[in-house]
Amino acid sequence: MMFQGRFIKRVVILTGAGISAESGLSTFRDADGLWEQHDPMEIATPEAFARDPALVYRFYNARRKQLASVQPNAAHLALAQLQQAPGAEVFLVTQNVDDLHERAGSEQVCHMHGELQRMRCQACDSVLPALVSYDDASICAHCNTRGKLRPDIVWFGEMPYHMDLIDLKLANCDLFVAVGTSGVVYPAAGFVRQAGIQGGTTLEINKEISEVSNHFQLHRQGPATSEVTALVRELLAG
């Protein structure tokens, strides 16, 4: 593939909340920034789960219910098409916990913050498909322990998944693209510098300026549904 007059073989794409928001997936915040009078950022912690597991279960059960009501958008579909193109080495890493990339046709998605549709047993450490709704009375299908299931989500204060693999891909990429990310949450906010240090071209696609926009070489401002599809057409044409 060619991009900006340069041969591109290895591509790393990071997606954030912005791409899912264009499918109608909400951030679960009311106008006052709260969910049921709670800050969602304070719910997504190990401490919150220990203090009030019923609240955390209810929050994630509601998120799964909403996820079932939305569909992948044109940006998700375009990225799946790029991954499936002959000769393309496209590593797709997402901060999102939804399954919209998979439903769009992407077969290899690196979920660094976990997956909403999976749950983990704290007794046996098994990772299982999430029940439609579960709570502290639910039983692990693997070890039959009751009350030890939690969302397979990386909460604040926990280590993101697959960091060794992500670091390796960033160190060897020709093009790094960030889509719909705020540039606030680390370590993902530092990916652009990792890719740039190794000589990769860096491109940000966002509706607005992010906290790390100044670290990108190239910028395309607008909705992911239009900007990502245009980028994929450009790459596949080259």
Residues 89-138: pLDDT tens digits?
999 999 999 999 999 999 999 999 999 999 999 999 999 999 989 999 99
Which is nearest to 17 in space by CA: 173, 178, 151, 157?
178
The verdict on 77 and 10 lying in the same domain is yes
Among the listed residues 76, 101, 113, 215, the single catalytic one is: 113
The verdict on 166 and 228 lying in the same domain is yes
- At 20, which CATH number? 3.40.50.1220
Q: pLDDT category, 13, cuts 50, 70, 90?
A: very high
pLDDT value at residue 34: 60
Q: What average pLDDT score do residues 158-176 get?
A: 97
The verdict on 147 and 168 lying in the same domain is no
* Residue numbers of the domain that contains 38: 27-69+118-153
Give the total number of structural domains in the chain: 2
Rounded to whole angstroms, the Cα distance separating 109 from 143 reads 28
The verdict on 10 and 80 lying in the same domain is yes
The verdict on 64 and 85 lying in the same domain is no
Contact between 205 and 220 under an 8 Å Cβ cutoff? The reply is: yes
The verdict on 185 and 228 lying in the same domain is yes
The verdict on 138 and 212 lying in the same domain is no
Residues 14-31: pLDDT tens digits?
999 999 999 998 866 556
**Lookup: tokens for 11:** 């591509």
- Annotation marks residue 113 as catalytic: yes
The verdict on 76 and 107 lying in the same domain is yes
Mean pLDDT, the chain, whole residue set: 92
